[in-house]
Structure formats: C-alpha cells, structure tokens
Amino acid sequence: MELITVSTRAIEGQKPGTSGLRKKTKVFMGAHYLENFVAAIWAGIGGVAGKTLVVGGDGRYFNDRAVQVIIRMAAAEGAAKLIVGQNGLLSTPAASNLIRKRATNGGIILSASHNPGGPDEDFGIKFNMPNGGPAPEEVTNRIFQATKTLSEYRIAEGQDIDLSALGETTFGEMAVEIVDPVTDYAAMMEELFDFEAIGGLLAGGFRIAFDAMHAVTGLYAHEILENRLGAAPGSVLNGTPSPDFGGGHPDPNPIWAKPLVDLVMGPDAPDFAAASDGDGDRNMILGRGVYVTPSDSLAVLAANAPLVPMFREGLSGVARSMPTSGALDVVAKELGIPCFETPTGWKFFGNLLDAGLAQLCGEESAGTSGDHVREKDGLWAVLFWLNILAVSRMSVAEIMSAHWKKHGRNFYTRHDYEGVETEKAEALMESLRARLGTLPGKTHAGLTVAAADEFAYDDPVDGSKATAQGLRVAFEGGSRVVFRLSGTGTVGATLRVYLEAYEPDPAKTDGDPETALAAVIAAAEEIAGIKAHTGREGPDVRT
C-alpha cells in the first residue's frame, strides 16, 4: 500500500442537505469530487484516525467504486476498521442498526434514497453519527465549511478489496470486515415482532405482495418475508437489486409503483401489499382495494402499537414532521401521550428518540420508524402492519374504516411540482413569505384564513433552533396548506404543496381525498399563484 497526497481545490456546491449530498452520478464521478467530499467528512467529524466506521449503500450505479475510494481514504488517514456490507450493500436502516449494535464511531451511507439511479441519474453520500442517525446541522455545517477550504487529500493505493468475500481482511494497517447485509437486521426484526403470529397468518392463505422496486430491500424481503415468515414464493416482486433500479424510479408511491397499485385494485388482489424505496427506508402500504397514506399509516401504527411485542407496554410519545397530517395528533391526544412536531428531515427525530421522549416517528414522505434505529425503516413498517393484521384478524380496509370512525379522518394529499427553475420556485416562496402577515381574515375559494406563518422549531432536548422550515396557511375549520421547497432533488427545485382537511364526522370519512380537498387546492392556488410563478398547469406527482 502506498500513501499519496493529492493536490486539489475547493469545489462549489458541496453543501449537504437533510439527507447528505446528492448530485448527478457523473458529477460524483468527476475528478476529485467524491474524494473532496469524503475528505471534508473526515474534517467535519474530527478525523478518522483510530476510529471504526460502517460503510455501505443501496447498490446504485457507482456504489461499488465509491466504497473502494472510501476504503482507501480511510486507510490513508489511519482508521482502525471499516465494517462494509457484502458487495457494498446495506440498506439505510440496516446500516443504522450496525452502527448501533457494533458501537462504531458512525458510518457512511451511499444513497440518493428514492431518486433514480444510473450513469445519467443520481448519487448521494451522507454521514451517520454514532447513535445511527443522520448528522445534525452542526456537523453538516462543519463538513460544508471544510469543502470550501480543501487544498489536498490523502488516499492509499493498492489492490481493491474483494467486497463479495465475507470475513475480515486488511488494507494496509486498517481492518476491513465484510458482513452479510441482512443477518443482523433480520435478527433484530425477529426480536421486535411476533413472527409466529405473522407466519400463522401467511400459512392460513393470507396473500401478500412486496415490491422491492429493483432496490436493496429485495435482499431483506426475500430472507424475512419468504424464507423466515413463509410467504409464498414470488411474493417479493422486483427483488433483485439493480444499479439503475430496473430503469425505474424507486419511490414507493402510487405513481412510481403503479403496477402494485393496479394489482391491489384488480380482481385478483392480494390481501396486503407494500413497497419500499432505493435504500429501504421508505414504505407504501396497501390492502385489497385500499391505499393507505403515510400519514394515516403512522396514526394507525400508533393506535395499535400495543399489539406488537416492541411496544407491548405502550408508547411514551410520538413525533411527526410538520407537513405530515394531524392524524397522529388525534391518536396521541386519545392515548394521553405527547406528540412532537418537527421540521422535515429524520435527523430532527434523533434527540427525541435518544431522550426517550418519542418511540414512534414518521413523515408524510413515506418514512416511518421506531426507537430501534435512528433512520426511517421501510420493512419494519411493513412487518408492523403484518403483525397488527395477524393479531386483529381484520383486513386493511376494516382497520382503516374502524380507525376513521373512532378518530375522524384527515383528508390529505401532496402535490409535487418537480424540476421547477430554482429562481421561479424561490420567487414564489419569497412572494408568499412577504404576504403571510396579510393573509389572516381573507377568504380564498370559500375558505377563510385563520393563521399564516413560517414554521420554526426549538429542539426540546438540546435547545437548538431550526428556522425557515416551511410556510403554513391555516383555515377556519381545521383545513391547512403547507408550502416547501424540497432538498432531495438534484436538478432545479421541487415545490411541495401539502393539503389537509379534518373530518370528525364518521359518516363523512369515505371518499377521494382530491375531491374532499377541492376547496383547499383552489385556495392554495389563489394564495400562492403556483401557475403564474411556475408556468405549470398542475403538479407532476400527486400522493
């Protein structure tokens, strides 16, 4: 092994967002780009000398080469050990579990989550802390500052590590342990859920379909759902990970997982269906003839938590991101437990989970998880649902109907305007921000504005403050609309518009959300002038 010091210069635009740094794959493949950012991570975390890290990713294009670069750079800086998923693969929740179980100094996860993969698509990298969760702003800010001043980085030259060979080897003085990406995660799931009950449900003819979307969760789903729980062979669809996710978009929603939605709405529908995303941290839940919104799913899990071994004693508290519907709040009030409202981004849940203030968290963007890891966990949510179905012996439709009759229904939808020119998207937000104080009392599409503000968050654990977290407009009667610019895309800006209306009357909880929210949708357009600012006649994606 030969150590090399490479001269470089700062590269603009390497600012990590809520989920690390995401750019087009070819950008990461450019000269020094990945190496610069990895060197900045080392600087941001105080170096890696003597430290142990977990490394893995979702298997998208360039994942394997990036792992080899990280190995070489860690060795050059004196890291003690890297724990790497076989073939460079680790789902995000599995990586979080490994970080926690092995008590490492953190880990690097290579993923752009639900974004498409391939040489012309997206790539991403982020650092997770020793608690298994995404780096907080304090750390990502240090990483970003380091990207601005880099003049060199150190890297070791040598033969590639065989990422397919399980076991421990060395790269120079550094140990490299290649581990099966599924084993520890699957063992944890067996501890958290009643596999005997779920297996009994499946043995009784209950049919499921899980769409892994050609992504990393296929490895986990084949082992857990088919091998350990006994789901019929073929229950896992698109279960072989592909560098370009089969040419698809690995986002588990009714648009990108339409074949699965068509299946459950068709004549030969399975009893239960679900999907997960590129790195395995998101989920979509469906039943025969039923699509469950992520917000409703979170509320149902909270209401039925004592049915699973993990939460047999009940929940100490719950948390949701601000744009997520208030369905969870209704359940929390019924249970007499706190419900925390945080900014978008899983890192904001970390302090609540570490402090024991919350045990179940979720986001409207299809992320749900508990206090077993510090990341979203798609397959965990699927097993949670299966456990509830096994114990209750109710269908998904029956569970939703009973839930709405007891708690009312938060009609909810999200409209995404993707790839909007950044200047136009920011102009819309600036215009609306400047008019927030003038909105209360005005009527739009028959709805009167009760309040309007920009969400800010004071962390109850460490006192940190997060500002500029979304523009909120609340109407009399409980409806609301939220406007945000998403940081998960790689080109232009994605304008997300979240629309919600609460219906407490059990007799009025059926129906299509887009129809129930027609007035809120019209009011959002009148207030923000989306068409005028973006030139779009309508959203690209409705979820």
Angle CA 239–385–298, to nearest 5: 110
Alpha-carbon distance 242 to 489, whole Å? 21
| Measured distance CA(68)–CA(74) in Å, rounded | 10
Active-site residue (options: 19, 111, 113, 276): 113
The alpha carbons of the chain give a radius of gyration, in whole angstroms, of 23
Query: What's the DSSP call for residue 134?
Result: B
φ, ψ of residue 199 to 5 degrees: the values are: -60, -40
Look up 431 and say whether it is catalytic.
Answer: no
- CB-based contact 104:86 (threshold 8 Å): no
Burial (CB < 10 A; 0-12, 13-18, 19+), residue 229, is buried
Q: Where are the beta strands (DSSP E) in 140-256?
A: 152-157, 167-171, 174-179, 208-211, 236-237
- What are residue 436's phi and psi, to 5 degrees? -55, -45
Q: Which residues contact 321 (CB under 8 A, 6 or more apart)?
A: 341, 342, 343, 344, 345, 348, 362, 363, 364, 365
- Phi, psi (5° rounding) for residue 507? -75, -10
Q: Cβ distance 300 to 383 under 8 Å?
A: no
Q: Measured between alpha carbons, how far is residue 447 from residues 189, 217, 503, 518 in Å?
A: 46, 43, 15, 11
Rounded Cα gap, residues 131 and 440, in angstroms: 42
Structure tokens at 450: 């009760």
Catalytic center residues:
113
